[in-house]
Structure 1
Amino acid sequence: MDVTRADFIPIVPELFLLGATCAILLIDLFLSEQRRGLIHFLSLATLAATAVLILRAWGDQGVAAEAAWSGMFLRDNVGDVLKLAICLVSAVVFIYAKPYLRARDLFKGEFYTLCLFSVLGMMLLVSAGSLITVYLGLELMALSTYALVAMDRENRRATEAAMKYFVLGALASGMLLYGMSMLYGATGSLDLATISQMAAEGGAGDRRLLVLGVVFMLVGIAFKFGAAPFHMWLPDVYHGAPTAMTLFIGSAPKLAAFGMAYRLLEGSAGNLGEFWQIMVAWLAVLSLVIGNVLALMQTNLKRMLAYSTISHVGFLFLGLAHGGPEGYAAAMFYAISYALMSAAAFGAIILLSRRGFEAEEISDFRGLNHKNPWHAGLVLMIMASMAGVPPFLGFWAKLAVLRAAVEANMVWLAIVAVVFAVIGAFYYLRVIKVMYFDEPEDTTQADDRPADAHLRWVLSATRCFCWCWASRGAP
């Protein structure tokens, strides 16, 4: 493979992020605990500069796709939009997580460097043009999140969650690799575009082997999303990990998972849609049923949000099942919307938590409107948006994927989704009911600590941003 200067131009944002993360890792070695805030500032500046580089190259590039490193790395509008969303969500996560980490003696450079390395893996994943790049990006993202969950070594619950996450993640990666090996065996190529072309022209050696490879890849995709029946890791990891870590793994990686699904399904298996579209549809049904039904039984808010994640993945799969540009656009809109809503939901838990108290139980929100109406209003908007109540962002996201399902002649799937959307609204409304109609157990006023002022303002700004985006409607 001949490497030229032109190969480095599309990957400049990733190279900058890698260099800046390594520099932050070295700087952290020489900082005292009192100056740890510098790492927080440098991490936010790194994400902002990376986003500027993406925007600058995006403006030069226009709408044309660009390939580098012999097609292993792709630069197109889909990848750029997802990268910008990943940088935005990750920056919001850093701001939300800071007071939580400080209060629990977890405000360390490892949190920021692991998150930044994970972001780097996500950016590689959404720009993958080869099966090799897909796996490299996926493992860089996954290994960083495994370590992130286990960062609080004194927390036995977090350690157990990290072990479960690692073991099941390794199993899913093995299935994904097995599927990739079948694609390579059937086509003799690792390039996604070549695989797609050979599948369309009938040049694959064994079409059954090709289809079986796509099936195994779908298993890997479903695991990374947390779709049923490959969701067994999700509730325990969300519940066991410290909330700041759950905040990260519950938001930005979902964007990378969509990017992986788009590259693999559209890039290599787009011409096998008649095989995988119905499989994705049934994965959506299972996720909607299992996620919503089990979420109804939860009293722990983090576990409830974990099971609701499964149901949201079911909605996202409605767009993927379309298999066309409109379906992918709807699914990407849903993925970005959900990442913002999920970050805001876990940010609300952090906002109400304090040292020695984790606001993880739904009962912890009892009578919140009496103590702090502003906080209660923010949580109300978050829950209403996730439930799909108009005119909040979640409504437009659900409308987009339902429209995609109908356009794909899967009216039955859209009906199932609407039924379970109504069922799922119950557990979100239960949180609202507890805040507004139950008497508070603690009658003291909420503590408005100046140290958390930035968290409250950013949480409010996030809701305003989602409201403005929702006012424009779905794509």
Structure 2
Amino acid sequence: MNTAVFPNFLPASAEIFLTCSGIMLLLIGLFRKRGVAGWISWGVIIVFFVTTLFVLSYSSEAEEKAFFGLFVATPYTQFAKVLVLISSFLAIVLSNDYMRREEIERFEFPILVLFATVGMMIIISAGDLIALFIGMELQSVAFYVLVAFRTNSLKSIESGFRYFLFGIFSSVVFLYGCSLIYGFSGTTELTKISLSIQSKDQGASIGFIIGLAFFILGLALKVSVIPFQLWIHDCYARAPSPVTAFLLIGPPIALLCFLVQFLFASLLFISDFWQPLISIISCLSMLISSGMMFFEDNIKRWITYGSIGHIGFASMGLAAGSENGCSSILVYLSIYLVMHFGWVAVIISLRKKKQTVEKFRDLAGLSENHPLVAFFCFVIMFAMAGIPPFAGFFGKWLVLTAIMDSQLYLLALIGGAASFAFAISYLRVVKVIYFEDLIEPFDTNTSGELNIIMFGSVVLLVLFFIFPNPLISSAKIVASIL
């Protein structure tokens, strides 16, 4: 007698809950449109909080699969998902006040962020190329709409269309790589790809290596790292600020952590092929973005270049090809997430004549008008520059130590030089805030939510110096189980 075989849903319980909640909130918004945007926003925030509890409560010391291998859960994926959920939570909190002030508050915004988060969580736990593509496209479709969310602005709509075209191109490159990987391995399941290549006498064929290169480049296109970012920097600058903040941290966390799962855990035996490509992308991201930051005066573009540089720096941990490298990625991304949202909260909170500041010269004299916000900027900029005793220094130190342990001395030297170049740009902001005269007074009213994010970021950046072990130990434990 035939018996039905049911897939194991438990490892994917957080994603299932998040998806069902999103559908329910969407239906509520559709049937009760008026005055529901704020309630939907807080509903999504609660859903993110509950989902984080789901992720944290599901503990396993080994790899567990769901949906017949399409979905994989490990301690490393759980850690990465918590980072993505925190970034999504902060993006919604940032957006509440911003959307009201810009008069673009609609209930669809938090729901799109929610479904983008589902896509990122699927990417992190993808155990198959098909699942990875589904997660990437779910994330991308949500971001196409979010970038063009300011429908009363032609520039915003143009940015959304440009981002859409760029997304199609990156998907084509990615799928071409996937087709070659499938053609030369005979499977789309990630663990079986590894076993297939190892079972062949000649090892990885040239066709598989080319496919892997296109695969990695397709993922790099998705997060617009250097040099690909040069084509769409205006998309980030013209998108609503909370969207820009989310775009620059959420997808890179998801894709970088997926690459750790795939390249380090499954394809470490051919690291001689993928390690140089990761190193080149990392170096280009750091060096070019640090140079462009130095000459950029637009704050949102400057944040974009800085974010790409930080993701490039974190990816050096993957190039190290070691457990220490993988754990340093999680520590660095955790610290950068705090710095990034703290800095974006500062920028969103600063307004002149009811308009958000756009140029660095607009920050002149901030210490006279808002000394507390200026102090928050001071701490965040020093942390981003990697100056001790703030948390940013330890993140950079762990990555560089992992690189040195792997004897990649040239890469470590480039990383150190890029850090110095970044530090110059970050200290320039401190100079403008404290040593240039106030041109025009800032608006006085600041959202309580933004104040909490700024204050919380500064407290966490200082506390990490006092209590670094919990984060570092957790990252090392989950990396050791890969």
Measured against the shorter chain, the TM-score band is over 0.9
For 2:31 and 2:351, locate their aligned partners in 1 and report how far apart those are by CA, in whole Å: 31
**Where do residues 325-336 of structure 1 align in structure 2 (5 Å cutoff)?**
325-336=323-334
Cross-structure match for 2:83? 85
Check conservation: 1:192, 1:267, Cα contact below 8 A. Answer: no
Q: CA deviation at 1:314?
A: 2.1
Matched, 1:465 2:460: yes
Q: CA deviation at 1:189?
A: 0.6
Cross-structure match for 1:447? 444
Deviations 1:335-379 (A, max 9, x none): 232233222221111111377412121111110110111111111
Cross-structure match for 1:9? 10
For 2:118 and 2:329, locate their aligned partners in 1 and report how far apart those are by CA, in whole Å: 22
Cross-structure match for 1:236? 234
Check conservation: 2:15, 2:121, Cα contact below 8 A. Answer: yes
Cross-structure match for 1:51? 52
- Kindly provide the amino acid, as one letter, of the partner of residue 16 in structure 1: F
Change (3 A) 1:3 1:315: farther
Change (3 A) 1:354 1:257: farther
Instruction: Provide TM-score, normalisation by structure 2.
Output: 0.93
For 1:453 and 1:367, locate their aligned partners in 2 and report how far apart those are by CA, in whole Å: 22
Cross-structure match for 1:100? 98
Cross-structure match for 2:317? 319
For 1:130 and 1:32, locate their aligned partners in 2 and report how far apart those are by CA, in whole Å: 39
Q: CA deviation at 1:22?
A: 0.6
For 2:326 and 2:198, locate their aligned partners in 1 and report how far apart those are by CA, in whole Å: 20
Unaligned 5+ runs, structure 2: 473-482
- Kindly provide the amino acid, as one letter, of the partner of residue 283 in structure 2: V
Q: CA deviation at 1:5?
A: 5.1
Check conservation: 1:211, 1:272, Cα contact below 8 A. Answer: no
Cross-structure match for 1:34? 35
Cross-structure match for 2:475? none
Check conservation: 2:282, 2:313, Cα contact below 8 A. Answer: yes
**Where do residues 180-191 of structure 1 align in structure 2 (5 Å cutoff)?**
180-191=178-189
Percent of matched pairs sharing the same residue: 29
What's the RMSD between the two structures over aligned residues?
A: 1.9
Change (3 A) 1:247 1:53: same
**Where do residues 139-158 of structure 1 align in structure 2 (5 Å cutoff)?**
139-158=137-156
Check conservation: 2:197, 2:204, Cα contact below 8 A. Answer: no
Matched, 1:123 2:124: no
For 2:63 and 2:184, locate their aligned partners in 1 and report how far apart those are by CA, in whole Å: 27
- Kindly provide the amino acid, as one letter, of the partner of residue 311 in structure 1: G
Equivalenced residue count is 468
Q: CA deviation at 1:32?
A: 5.0
- Kindly provide the amino acid, as one letter, of the partner of residue 370 in structure 1: E
- Kindly provide the amino acid, as one letter, of the partner of residue 155 in structure 1: S
For 1:300 and 1:69, locate their aligned partners in 2 and report how far apart those are by CA, in whole Å: 46
Provide the secondary structure at the position in 2 that maps to 1:71. coil
- Kindly provide the amino acid, as one letter, of the partner of residue 97 in structure 2: P
Q: CA deviation at 1:317?
A: 1.9
- Kindly provide the amino acid, as one letter, of the partner of residue 444 in structure 2: D
- Kindly provide the amino acid, as one letter, of the partner of residue 210 in structure 2: L
Change (3 A) 1:434 1:75: same
Deviations 1:309-338 (A, max 9, x none): 222122112111012222111122222322
Check conservation: 1:254, 1:335, Cα contact below 8 A. Answer: no
* 1:168 aligned to which of 166, 169, 173: 166
Change (3 A) 1:216 1:384: same
Instruction: Provide TM-score, normalisation by structure 1.
Output: 0.94
For 2:11 and 2:112, locate their aligned partners in 1 and report how far apart those are by CA, in whole Å: 24
Cross-structure match for 1:73? 71
For 1:32 and 1:215, locate their aligned partners in 2 and report how far apart those are by CA, in whole Å: 47
For 1:204 and 1:268, locate their aligned partners in 2 and report how far apart those are by CA, in whole Å: 18
Cross-structure match for 2:416? 418
Q: CA deviation at 1:427?
A: 1.3
